[in-house]
Structure 1
Amino acid sequence: MCSLCGVLGVETHWTDAVARPGVFSRNEAARERKLERARRIRLANRVLGAYRLTLSDFQGRAYLLATATGKTEVIETLAHLWPTAEKLAGRPFDPLDDGLLARLEREA
């Protein structure tokens, strides 16, 4: 599927902040949803940085995951983040690794 089709066809995922009654989210205004999305990207980038990967927003509907050399993949939701990150990095990794968590704690 091309990137544009993926973006246009994406349904809301539970990891995204939305403004609908009965949906888990504290964000009701568009500005709050954008801020929450940016916060999630910042947090993911703290972990991804250890593997020389970066995550960015793509039109508020998807994410761009990139390597330090510029190889990039569009992912629809944060649920696709870790498998795609492993694929781009060319190695398995665990975002809950004790060494990684200790490093993140020291940097905080």
Structure 2
Amino acid sequence: MCSLCGILGGNEHWADAVARPGVFTRNVERVDRRRERANRVRIANTMLARFGLTLADWQGASFVLSTRTGKSEIIEDLGHLWPAAERLCGRVCDPLDRAFIAVAEED
């Protein structure tokens, strides 16, 4: 997706389920969208645990990514997750690495 959609589309990340006219989503109700967001955080935390990181929802508007020592960074959406993870833990965090995927699939 190009960055122009971020400017024209509003504050929501393109991958988020958002109820607005003309946009299909199965999550029309706010509670359903919050449930889906919580599920995304849960899945991300499963992956981030291998790097010693955790992700928390912050008011349904952004996320807080933290290390075990309490170092934290606020990110707007999940599109900023992996670059922020690399900054916080000081190493490459590639969720598409074959070895990483193999270990994740074993869980």
TM-score, normalization by structure 2: 0.85
RCO higher in 1 or 2 (8 Å CA, sep ≥ 6)?
1
User: Residue 15 of structure 1 aligns with which residue?
Assistant: 15
User: Residue 102 of structure 2 aligns with which residue?
Assistant: 102
User: Residue 58 of structure 1 aligns with which residue?
Assistant: 58
Equivalent residue letter for 1:95? P
Aligned length: 98
Could you tell me the percent identity over the aligned residues?
A: 53
Could you tell me which runs of 5 or more consecutive residues in structure 2 were left unpaired when the two chains were aligned: 1-9
Q: Is the 8 A contact 1:14 1:24 kept in 2?
A: no
RMSD: 1.4
SS of residue paired to 1:99: helix
Could you tell me which runs of 5 or more consecutive residues in structure 1 were left unpaired when the two chains were aligned: 1-9
* Deviates further, 83-92 or 21-30: 21-30
Pairwise CA distance, 1:26: 2.0
**Structure 2 residue 49 is matched with structure 1 residue 49:** yes
Change in 2 beyond 3 A, CA 1:20/1:94: same
Q: Is the 8 A contact 1:66 1:73 kept in 2?
A: yes
**Structure 2 residue 93 is matched with structure 1 residue 93:** yes
Q: Is the 8 A contact 1:44 1:55 kept in 2?
A: yes
Equivalent residue letter for 2:48? L
Change in 2 beyond 3 A, CA 1:63/1:24: farther
Question: Partners of 2:56 and 2:22 in 1: how far apart?
Answer: 28
Pairwise CA distance, 1:24: 5.1
SS of residue paired to 1:27: coil
TM-score, normalization by structure 1: 0.84
